[in-house]
Amino acid sequence: MRILAAIGFALGLSACGVSAQGAASTSPDWISGYWLSCVDGRETAESWIGAGTGTLLGANSSGGGFEFLRIAANEDGGLSYYSMPNGASPPTAFAMTSYADQRVVFENPQHDFPQRIVYERDGDVMVARIEGPMDGRTESMEWRFQRAEQDAHCPA
């Protein structure tokens, strides 16, 4: 239910966004759905809606925290990934720098961490990775999601 409430809030936020009429053809609509990662006793869920509309709205829930997400047209006519950890405003934008098949890369070299966000999908598995500098070296974090029923949870 928390994910649905977060998505509802994100829908309201998207009304302030830029229209994505031309960006729909390169929109990573394959991200749509409910995704669940159950690794080392940590549950992370990500839910995306809006396939075919040119704007994807998402919510991530992990370890008691949450993040509102949006993939939509930016002022330059391309697509950007907008992130709002714990609902922080304004959102941080990461411009799409690469799109092929079911792999998309977003980057913001001015951001502290992460500077790069990568999504890749293979069937019912989607991998999300964030990368960037941290403590003087390049770090990355990765989540391996499995497609799941809405609001599913990891086995106890």
CA atoms of 41 and 62, how far apart (whole Å): 11
Residue 154 lies in a domain: no
Count of domains observed in the chain: 1
* CA–CA distances in Å: residue 112 to residues 74, 109, 115, 126, 135: 21, 8, 7, 25, 11
Residue 139 lies in a domain: yes
List CB contacts of 98: < 8 A, sequence separation 6 or more.
104, 105
- The CATH number of the domain holding residue 95 is 2.40.128.20
Degrees, nearest 5: CA angle 127-132-138: 105
Instruction: Answer for the pair 132, 138: CB distance below 8 angstroms, yes or no.
Output: yes
Average pLDDT of span 85-106: 96
Instruction: Answer for the pair 65, 3: CB distance below 8 angstroms, yes or no.
Output: no
Residue for token pair 């966004």: 17
Per-residue pLDDT tens digits for 2-56: 444 444 444 444 433 433 344 556 899 999 999 999 999 899 999 999 999 999 9
Residue 19 lies in a domain: yes
Q: For residue 136, give its domain range.
A: 2-147
Per-residue pLDDT tens digits for 96-109: 999 999 999 999 99
Residue 11 lies in a domain: yes
Predicted confidence (pLDDT) at residue 128 exceeds the cutoff of 80: yes
CA atoms of 48 and 44, how far apart (whole Å): 14
Two structure tokens written together for 150: 């809405």
